[in-house]
Amino acid sequence: MDAATGSAPVLGAVDYAVFGGMLLVSAAIGVYYGFFARSSGADAYLVGGRSMSTIPVSLSLIASFISGITLLGMATESYLYGVQYSYICLAVLLSGVVSAFAFLPVFHDLGITSAYETSWIPIVVYVPAIAFNQVTGVNMHIVSSVVCLVCIFYTCVGGLRAVVWTDAVQTLVMFGGVVLVVVKGTLDVGGFGVVWSRNVDSGRIEPPLLDWNPTARLSLASVLVGGTVHLMAIASVDQMMMQRYLSLPTLARARLALCVFTVGVMSLVLLSTYSGLLIFARYYDCDPLTTKMASAKDQLLPLLVVDSLGGLPGLPGLFVASVFSAALSSMSTALNSTSAVVLEDFFKTFFPSRRLSERQTDLLMKAVVVVMGAVCTGLVFAVERLGASVLQITISFASITTGPILALFTAGMFLPWVNTMGALAGGLGGAGLMSWLILGAQAYQASGDIRFATKPFSTEGCLYEFDRANNGSVAVPADYRSSWVWPVFAVSHVWYTALGWLLALAVSLAVSAASGGWGSSRAHWPQPRLLSPLVRRWLPAGPPHRDYKVVELRIVQAKEDKGTTNHVE
């Protein structure tokens, strides 16, 4: 950063070459799997023929979960509010255990392709565009459109195999970029001791807050309980995650991939949290948000990058590539998953008698990728109008559906007395109530009627001139809520998924009881394989008689006298 002008350096030719190289490699992988190592059929396109290797799938899981939202949003979180959110690592561990033993066995036993899907791609793409804009000055909509086109291309032509292997490469780039920034930035400020002491003095490093008040923005209770439920909804029933687990041939390999994923996510969360502490250690006496050096909260980490790595050709480009790698992996996974949902959950459900040829199926899946990719690219323009930090925005809006959807799977796998009417009412009712709560809370926060306390900032050491008359500290000394705002709108965003889950379950149980779902005879109990292994032992004795039509695709090895052939059962 130029101390005289307060301007940040831009990327050089080598940096653009590094960034462009990442995009070319991603496109090349799509070309390879789309034209040279092509496998035909929907099963190959959507789940890699259920024969993928564990390591690339593990890396793909990490890449699908860790987007630029985490890399930049977690850094912003610890810079503004301290390390309370980093205790989410405990929730990552707990949710992984629940997923491995309660949910994953059901999906693998059924051999299905689709679980469900939600869309958050515009935010995922918008975040790295912010980083690129900060280090180059290039309009974020131009770069986001170019990157989205590359992603749509390799996802469309290469299917899941291309997505998984580009994810694997992008995960390595992502880790490399973050570690590079952490190491170089720490050396620049004088070592780890300086980072630690400056953050301790400002109150950013602190033990977990022991507070059960749901309006506390972050506490051990909200992170541990609310965070675990939120992550369960992602790690246990999210379509993007399940599709990767189901691409592995056995449940044991899927669980191993889940273990690697859990360790990888915890590592990146801690690295991203430390990045935020490093940002404060660098700018502890000259807050770039107050001086408008960073025009948006989530441009803080890119600002640190150009400060620390600006004199080293190629390294700023590697960081930008790492952030975009996180975005590309998440976007490609979501697009591939959406094509699975459209084919399995919509087309085959509403047009059961319509038999598509292999070519027609291929065209349908690719058309979904192109159309959804174009829509999400357009929605990036709307994301920049949201005011809160991107991490909080993502958790908040995702929770409109994550809680109710988790409730549907919970009812289906754990509560066999919930009937169809109850499940439908619970899902819709939960989503409606959470929409009212979350949209209302976001509106109040945007208007300033709800504010959460930040850690302190300073501009006493700034060596460059800035407009002090039109700039004020972004620090909020204490939590604030206008007297006319209901307390429910001040509930921490980390509780949203858990709240939506409980509301949807309550509605499901109540409607089921009112419509005759309670005390059903043994003939109404579901087949054991549709329930979690944790509750199968409690089923009544004797074979169930409920007539379920389960759409499944199972590859069976039929050994014949002249060899082994594959056929679909």
Q: Is residue 164 located within the same domain as residue 268?
A: yes
Give the pLDDT mean for 140-157.
73
With 0-12 / 13-18 / 19 or more C-beta atoms within 10 angstroms meaning exposed / middle / buried, residue 104 is buried
pLDDT exceeds 50 at position 331? yes
Region 424-432: mean pLDDT is 91
> Which residues lie closer than 8 Å to 407 by C-beta, 6 or more apart?
426, 427, 430, 500, 501, 502, 503, 504, 505, 508
What's the CA angle centered on 349, arms 348 and 350, to 5 degrees? 100
**Would the pLDDT of 375 be above 90?**
no
- The region of weakest confidence among 49-63, 184-198, 363-377, 554-568 is 554-568
Inter-axis angle of helices 68-81 and 315-341, to 10 degrees?
Answer: 120
Residue 524, amino acid: H
Helix count (H) and strand count (E) of the chain? 21, 4
pLDDT band per the 50, 70, 90 thresholds, residue 563? very low
Q: In terms of domains, do 251 and 143 share one?
A: yes
Cα 385 → chain centroid: 20
Q: Which band of pLDDT confidence, cut at 50, 70 and 90, is reported for residue 3?
A: very low
Residues 349 and 422 in one domain: no
In terms of domains, do 438 and 335 share one?
A: no
Q: Which amino acid is at 497?
A: T
**Contact between 400 and 518 (Cβ < 8 Å):** no
| Mean pLDDT across 154-177 | 76
With beta carbons less than 8 A apart as the criterion, state whether 241 and 234 touch: yes
- Based on the fold, state whether residues 433 and 551 are members of the same structural domain: yes
Measured between alpha carbons, how far is 241 from 263 in angstroms, rounded to an integer? 15
Within-domain flag for 46: no
Tokens 């034209």 sit at which residue?
Answer: 35
The pLDDT value given to residue 373 = 75
Alpha-carbon Rg for the chain, nearest whole angstrom, is 24
- In a domain? residue 321: yes
Regarding whether 144 and 120 lie in a shared domain, the answer is yes
In a domain, 425, yes or no: yes
For residue 537, count other CB atoms closer than 10 A to its CB. Answer: 8
How many percent of the chain have pLDDT more than 70?
75
Q: How many domains does the chain have?
A: 2
35-49, 270-284, 453-467: range with lowest mean pLDDT = 35-49
Helices 121-136/390-414 angle, 10° precision: 160
Which residues share a beta bridge with 480? 451
Last residue of a domain, which of 356, 383, 410?
Answer: 383
Mean pLDDT of 378-390: 59
What distance lies between CA 105 and its chain's CA centroid?
22
The residue out of 329, 354, 383 marking a domain boundary is: 383
Whether pLDDT at 432 is above 60: yes
Residue 49 lies in a domain: no
Lookup result for tokens 């459900």: 349
Number of residues in the chain: 569
- Who wins on pLDDT, 98 or 393? 98
Is the pLDDT at 145 greater than 80? The verdict is no
Q: What is the DSSP letter of 560?
A: E
Question: Taking 80 as the threshold, does the pLDDT of residue 21 lie above it?
Answer: yes
**291 part of a folded domain:** yes
Asked whether the predicted pLDDT for residue 79 surpasses 90, the reply is: yes
Q: 512 and 373: one domain?
A: no
345 with 422, same domain: the answer is: no
Can you tell me the distance from the alpha carbon of 208 to that of 7, in angstroms, rounded to the nearest whole number? 37
28 contacts: CB under 8 Å, gap ≥ 6: none
In terms of pTM, does the model score above 0.85?
Answer: no
- Shared domain check, 341 and 411: no
Residue pair 105/532 in contact (Cβ under 8 Å)? The answer is: yes
Q: Which domain holds residue 129?
A: 54-383
Q: Among residues 428, 379, 400, 405, which one has the least CA distance to residue 493?
A: 400
Which stretch of 224-228, 262-266, 470-474 has the lowest confidence by average pLDDT?
A: 470-474
* Element at 363 (helix H, strand E): helix 358-383
Q: Is residue 220 part of a domain?
A: yes
Tell me how far apart the terminal alpha carbons of the chain are, to the nearest angstrom: 63
Residue 245 and residue 108 in contact, taking contact as beta carbons nearer than 8 Å = yes
Closest C-alpha to 532, from 372, 415, 419: 415
Q: Are residues 366 and 416 in the same domain?
A: no
Residue 474 lies in a domain: no
For 248, the token pair is: 């592995």
| Greatest mean pLDDT among 297-301, 340-344, 556-560 | 297-301
Q: Tell me the CATH number at 269.
A: 1.20.1730.10
Is residue 316 situated within a structural domain?
yes
Confidence of residue 121 (pLDDT cuts 50, 70, 90): low
CA distance 45 to 38: 9
Q: What is the mean pLDDT of the chain?
A: 77
Q: Are residues 499 and 547 in the same domain?
A: yes
Torsions phi, psi for 450 (to 5 deg): -130, 125
Give the CA distances from residue 345 to residues 110, 116, 124, in Å, rounded to whole numbers and listed in that order: 15, 8, 25
pLDDT at 499: 94
Q: What is the pLDDT of residue 183?
A: 92
Helices (DSSP H) in 190-249: which residue ranges?
192-201, 220-221, 227-235, 239-245
pLDDT score of 149: 78
**Does residue 177 register a pLDDT over 50?**
yes
Candidate from 364-373, 442-451, 503-512 with smallest mean pLDDT = 364-373
Mean pLDDT of 539-546: 52
- Give the model's pLDDT for residue 556: 36
How high is the pLDDT of residue 567? Answer: 34
Question: Stretch 151-174: mean pLDDT, rounded?
Answer: 76
Q: Is the pLDDT of residue 148 over 60?
A: yes
Q: Identify which of 226-235, 240-249, 447-456, 501-510 has the greatest average pLDDT.
A: 501-510
How far apart, in whole angstroms, are the C-alpha atoms of residue 31 and residue 370? 16
| Last residue within a domain, chosen from 348, 363, 383 | 383
Residues 413, 544 within the same domain: yes
Rounded Cα distance between 330 and 16, Å, is 22
101 DSSP assignment: I
Q: Distance of CA 85 to CAs 3, 229, 346, 493, Å?
A: 32, 15, 38, 12
